[in-house]
Structure 1
Amino acid sequence: MISTFLYLSLCLLSTTSAFILRNKENIILIPTAAFRDHSKVPSTDWLLYNKGWYYEENNVQAKILEKSLELVVKKDLDNNRIKLFTAEGEKNKDLCVDGLNRSMCTKTDDEGRIKNTFQLTDAELKQFIQAEGNTAKLFYQASVPNRNIRATGEVYVCDDNGVTFISDIDDTIKITGVTSNTETLINTFSGEFKAVSGMSDIYQYWQKQYTATFAYLTASPDQLYPFLREFLDRENFPTGSYHMRHFTWLDKNFISFFMSSDYIKSKTDTIEMFINNTVNRTFVLIGDIFQKDPDIYAGIYAKYSSRIGKIFIRKYSNDETGQQRLEQVFKDIPKQKWGTFESGSDLPRDNFLV
């Protein structure tokens, strides 16, 4: 039924889009990571990535989708969130990136997305770096020439040594309800995001205890980034890079987008990017049982066991079927290398990186 409503909404959007005046334009820049450039020996240079989206909103399209979804979920939805899902990327448009060692101009791709790589020397990196507690990051700007459209992006430094916690978001630290299509829509497009109890406290403790960095790896589309960032900041989660996919109307079904095989590959590729771009850094993988995190993490462990300090999977304490599934998925992983939790208070504070 949900797929039918989304399909009808898509048809309405396509038939009305030709008659709609364009609305607000904006840029979203997603926080990314910086790694040492190991193509040179010694590796004194750094590679920095920027990632974002230049788009135009359309109020009429957003209202059509909003009303269609509300017929399904029987609840008022947040039009501001829906606007980003009905916005259209600004294809092949000029953008300028500055704020680091040099300015450069680039173009968006066919979806309006921004993807570039910068190179800085170690001395240049130190010139621009800013410390935020245990976190080191840099800022840059992206702007549209001759337009009053500008955004600030963040790049988090991930050096060869240390500890990084790679955390899923939906149903790991934020209550989403991905096992229910209706609950996923309601918790995505309605009201204030709710945190899993105790997770921000334990993440803050780990950040200080292990001088750790954080990366948030999620199946959520980058259209949700502004709202996820507001949620993580409000709940006092450690700042870090975000690694998300991009939803387009070619995907048609928002629910299947969450569960697609592309999501599995995307998560795997991102974790491997962190591992392959660092030498001795240890990674802690945190996810949930409600999607494919256990399978993804087991596959990563099989290839990079020496780099994985621990795997934590969120499940309900009385879920015996889920426990049996984990025992099977993790059968080749030592027992001391993985554990389960339902809330942050279930997670160990110290001495688990064995």
Structure 2
Amino acid sequence: MITSSLDEVFLSLALQDISMFRRKPLRINSYLSYGTPSHFRALGRALEFRNVEFINDLNQWRTLINIYKQFESDEIRNTELLLKLSNGLKFSTKTDKEGYYVFDRDIEKLHELADNQGWVKYVASFDDDSSPIIKNNIFEGEMIIPSSKANYGIISDIDDTILHTGVASFMKWRLIRNTFFRNFDKRMPLEGTSQFYKKLQLGTLKEPLNPFFYISNSPWNLYDYLTAFLKRHYFPKGPILLRDFRNPFERKPKVKLPHKEREIINLLRIYPDLKFVLIGDSGEKDADIYTKIAKQFPDRILAIYVRSVNHAKRFQRIQSIVDNFKTTPMLQVKTSEEAEEHARNIGLIL
């Protein structure tokens, strides 16, 4: 059933592309990023625009076409881009062979450009805007600078931690069904997660200053889909750190650390004075990665919460880790209320 539907979509879209020899408009998808009061970091991807809109009430067919377009999108390789800050400073960067750009630069007094939530806005554009396929050559991006008043930062997984995906299901069939056939507005967060996250963002403060960072093993192709989901359910705004899927023909060396571990360690090093709360689930290797990091940075991790995915063997394995881990407060939970009560008891929230 799924295979048949996929074949129909692929054929339909292939015929559309064959019949349209004109090039599609170009766009820059700027991802939310993070930096410091004196370090500007911007990242995103230059792509051909395939008219993907994440709107409510799409049926399964339109949802499948949307997701297909996200994965089939054509990158704009080795092209010059311009980045402009609100104070007029301009910088140039270049996309790589997969269309991604990553820009890192020390800039004095960068924090003066941030709003009251710590977000620094910038504009990305193509260097040559004279091309007829470049329209509205202004693409907004943002980077967060965590407040010096923050109690701590929160790093949360997405899949089966706040969004039920079925990543632990047999042959990942539920993951495929949920991702490809259900529009973002048909997906519901796990009960109580949004409310709990808002309380963590507040911590013991009267302002939502504790920064959020979301990590997932999903590919960057799903960035817009996940962003739409988080916004719809009022999750705290924060960078979504996804990964680039390798194809079997790539020659670049494999990274030494798993994606989640690498991203968390990078955050710990960029913000040496900020402690963190780690949230994940029992469906993947979150507990193993989080405890390994807590041992490596024993004074930096305030708590670890692992949501159970209702799998008996995994529950027992994770509970064994929890029972034997003494470095950091750690809890396996079935509900957000359990995590919230624990966080309140150890002074993370009011």
Q: Same fold (TM over 0.5)?
A: yes
Cα distance change of structure 1 residues 77 and 279 upon mapping to structure 2, 3 Å threshold: same
Q: 2:210 & 2:41 partners in 1: Cα distance? A: 20
Cα distance 1:275–1:120, how it changes in 2: closer, same or farther (>3 A)? same
**What is the CA distance between 1:25 and its match in structure 2?**
2.4
1:42-121 equivalence runs, <5 A = 46-57=38-49, 76=61, 78=63, 79-101=65-87, 102-121=89-108
Deviation by residue 1:145-169 (Cα, 9 ceiling, x = unmatched): 3133321111111367630010011
Paired residues of 1:264 and 1:292 also in contact (CA < 8 A): no
Contact 1:58 1:86 in 2 (8 A): no
Q: Secondary structure at the match of 2:106?
A: strand
Distance 1:275 1:142 in 2: 28
- Which residue does the alignment assign to 1:351? 345
| Candidates 153, 156, 159, aligned match of 2:144 | 156
Unaligned runs of 5+ in 1: 37-45, 63-74, 253-260
Are 1:91 and 1:109, in contact at CA under 8 Å, matched by a contact in 2? yes
Provide the residue aligned with 1:217 in structure 2: 215
State the shift of 1:333 in Å: 2.0
Offset, 1:278: 2.0
TM-score, normalised to structure 1, is: 0.78
CA RMSD, Structure 1 to Structure 2 (Å): 3.4
1:129 aligns with 2:117: no
Residue 85 of structure 1 aligns with an amino acid whose one-letter code is F
Equivalent residues of 2:322, 2:332 under 8 A apart: no
1:301 to 2:290 alignment: no
Checking the alignment, whether the CA contact within 8 Å between 1:50 and 1:115 is kept in structure 2 is yes
Quick check: 2:294–2:328 contact (8 Å CA) kept in 1?
Answer: no
- Aligned counterpart, 1:141: 123
CA distance in 2, matches of 1:305, 1:325: 22
Distance (Å, rounded) in 1 between the aligned partners of 2:107 and 2:36: 10
How far apart are residue 9 of structure 1 and its match?
A: 9.5
Offset of residue 270 of structure 1? 0.8
The residue type equivalent to 1:203 in the other structure is Y
Name the % identity. Answer: 26
**Which range moved further: 192-201 or 202-211?**
202-211
Q: 1:265 & 1:336 partners in 2: Cα distance? A: 21
What TM-score do you get using the length of structure 2 for normalisation? 0.79
Contact 1:57 1:83 in 2 (8 A): no
Aligned to 1:269: 262
What's 1:337 paired with? Answer: 329
Letter in 2 for 1:223: N
Per-residue deviation, residues 27-73 of structure 1 (Å, max 9, x unmatched): 1111111135xxxxxxxxx21211101111468xx9xxxxxxxxxxx
Q: How many residues align?
A: 316
How do 1:204-283 residues align onto structure 2 when only pairs under 5 Å count?
Answer: 204-210=198-204, 211-247=209-245, 250=247, 265-283=258-276
Per the alignment, residue 56 of structure 2 pairs with none
Q: Which has the higher strand share?
A: 1
Q: Name the CA shift for 1:108/1:336 in 2 (closer, same or farther; >3 Å).
A: closer
Equivalence for 1:173: 162
Query: Equivalent residue for 1:257?
Result: none
Distance 1:154 1:208 in 2: 21
Q: Which runs of 4+ in 1 moved over 4 A?
A: 1-20, 261-264
